[in-house]
Structure 1
Amino acid sequence: MIELNLTEEIISRHTEFIFGEENVNKNGRINKKLEAAYCSERSKLGKDVFKFVIDRFKEIVLSDIETLYKIKEEYTEVLNRISTESTKKRVHNKLKKMFHAEYKYFYSDSVFNAYQLQALLDINICPLCGTQFIFLYESESGTTRGTLDHFIDKGKYPIFAVSIYNLIPACKVCNSDFKRTRTVDLENYYTPYEKGVIEYIKFRKMLIPNVEEKIVPNIIEQLKIEDEAEIDYVSALLGINDDFNIKVDYSSAPPNIFNKIEGNIKLFKVEELYNIYHKKFVREQIRKAYVYNYIYRKQLMYNFSNLFITEEEVRALIVPNIDDDNKYILNKLIRDIVLVETESFSI
């Protein structure tokens, strides 16, 4: 739900990490292992696989996700030319050992590492769900950061274990609990590094026709709502009750992007989690928006002129700035719903 930007500095530092002279000893190991594996491989088709990786190594490390998928298809074709399963498995395992070792170096390398990647991306919130902090902290007594999701699974395709566009800081829930090793593709899913996808995603508060339509956490809660009274639409609009569902609207997206968004929304259980845990928060934000109506904002500017110079500064109290989406959870949810729900009050 948050777009990430790989800057020139990040690309440059990752290039230095993999290919730089400072790391010649460390990175010499994987290069030498690739070359040694090529020379020692008995199978002609096995040699072709190692030769493919050696020739395309720089592209594999630095290319964008679209290019990586093209390389993945070519790599799969070369690997599948090996008809003997034992040979194919041996080649795969050798590559896995090499690239996974290189990925482990990335945990805490002095030239460039996973902590520095997250810091340079300037992201404290999981870009896949927007609901979890991915704290970045380093000290002598302890460290923590977001997990790194591999859009192309590094177990099945180890050659992409250190591809910079395949390293996505994420929360444990999205990475380890929901996605895990699931195979995804660019037709039905998107990565936060893809440009222009997020602009089609909008959160909406949707009134429900009956209480049975509420999205609830489990069967016990579903049984509870059967005893509820009829829906109070006025209270729902004013944020007094939760007779509504939080929905993700991406209906304006072109078909190819529509499919990507739909895939991510389902994969990361976005609507379920937002409805289960964040309805009360939405209600509070809507009530605040009604309180901070146009007249009250003008009054605040007048009474607290030393604090507020422009109306936009007062408005920012309830409508988060898009530039802060990478710093605070639920920013986009608040902005989308509050603006729509209270537009008639000149918010």
Structure 2
Amino acid sequence: MDKIYLNEEVISKHYSYCLGNDKNKKKCCYFDLENEKKTYLTSNPLIYRLLANIQDNFEDIIKGKPQHLVLIYNKFLDLFNEITQELSAEEKEETRTKINEVLKNVFIGSYERFSSRLPGKSNLWGAYNFCANLNTNICPYCNSQFIITYIGKNGKTRPTIDHFFSKERFPLFAVSIFNLIPSCKICNSDFKGTEEMNLNEHIHPYIESFNELAIFKRKLSENSGIIDYYSVLVGKGEDFDIIVEDRMGSTVEQKNKVKNTKKVFNTEEIYHYHKKYVQELIIKSIIYTEAYKQNLLYSYERLFANEEQIIQLLMPKDINNHILSKITIDILEEEFLKKKNIFE
């Protein structure tokens, strides 16, 4: 739920793979694109011109940030409309179908090779190496599922890869690195599926941080009848719901993104099943009084250099590598650290 950062080394390796510089010359995206372009040189000049344009923008397509990908797509549409304006409606649709078919063959075909490619002894670039180099072991969409990458003698696993811009609708971006988002199966396949997302209405993990735009809170249940407020307050009662709210100062656009993103991934509904965890958090925070923290510092001075390290036991800062850390930080900060402890 925090922003994911792609370093230049990862971007460079991915681009090199797509160019065919990674022991992959005849099975790479650029090679396939070049072959398709040659095929249409004389048979279909319109398709040839479109593919030539894609080739000219190949580096930006592979390495471009999400906002730039939108610009590339819009310019490509403008070019398509320009060169097909004199065609009949039927001919224009045939050209559209054909270019879409070619893009799927080139870019989705390349992604399928990328997604199944194992590093091997030569440490080859592919989905496994890509995911392993991101320093993100928790799903950025939900923060409630591990997405580790592991290859061993008896098995292997890696995160699923979500295409923020659907590869079926936007095959041109099937291997664009900023369109490849490591995620858990639940978020990617079970919830998002074929749902269309866009930069104006949803949070993109490479651009924005759900953590910075939204906050988890507890809200007393409205349909619980008589509520034992004290039990809820001290973490004993379950008469509360876990909700996601916008942070103070959010713009209308940011609020809309939070609303739409949590709807796609059923965030509030899923976190309903973490109520027990929240109750345990609250009890722990009550136990960790100032006196108790000072006692820990005194008793375990070799383990803790300062009080901040003790707080880290409850509230880890690295959200992308600690499961449920987002709700942990939000609940503890909102209900206890920003308020006077009523038990002291």
Aligned match of 1:267? 264
Q: Secondary structure at the match of 1:26?
A: coil
Aligned match of 2:274? 278
Aligned match of 2:13? 13
Conservation of the 8 A alpha-carbon contact between 1:146 and 1:169: yes
- Correspondence list, 1:1-347, <5 A: 1-19=1-19, 21-22=21-22, 23-27=24-28, 29-42=31-44, 44-79=45-80, 81=84, 83=89, 84=91, 85-107=93-115, 108=117, 110=119, 111-195=124-208, 198-211=211-224, 230-252=226-248, 253-275=250-272, 277-320=273-316, 322-323=317-318, 325-343=319-337, 344-345=340-341
Displacement after TM superposition at 1:36 (Å):
2.0
Displacement after TM superposition at 1:150 (Å):
0.5
Displacement after TM superposition at 1:123 (Å):
1.0
Displacement after TM superposition at 1:20 (Å):
5.0
Q: 1:284 to 1:52 in 2, by over 3 A?
A: same
Q: Encode CA deviations 1:27-74: one digit per residue, 9 max, x unaligned.
A: 3531332322431542x4433322321222111111000010111222
Q: Secondary structure at the match of 2:26?
A: helix
Aligned AA for 1:256? E
* Greater displacement, 195-204 / 96-105: 195-204
Q: Encode CA deviations 1:249-297: one digit per residue, 9 max, x unaligned.
A: 214222222222221111101011101x100100001101101111111
Q: 1:184 to 1:239 in 2, by over 3 A?
A: same
Distance in 1, matches of 2:102 and 2:292, equals 67
* Greater displacement, 50-59 / 28-37: 28-37
Aligned Cα root-mean-square deviation (Å): 2.1
Gaps of 5+ in 1: 212-228
Aligned AA for 1:283? Q
Aligned match of 1:225? none
Distance in 2, matches of 1:148 and 1:334, equals 26
Displacement after TM superposition at 1:168 (Å):
0.3
Conservation of the 8 A alpha-carbon contact between 1:60 and 1:71: yes
Aligned AA for 2:62? V
Identity across matched positions, percent = 35
Q: Secondary structure at the match of 1:206?
A: strand
Displacement after TM superposition at 1:340 (Å):
1.8
Aligned AA for 2:149? L
Displacement after TM superposition at 1:87 (Å):
3.1
Gaps of 5+ in 2: none
Q: Secondary structure at the match of 1:242?
A: coil
Q: Secondary structure at the match of 1:125?
A: coil
Displacement after TM superposition at 1:243 (Å):
1.0
Aligned AA for 1:244? F
Q: Please, what TM-score do these two structures have when normalized by structure 1?
A: 0.87
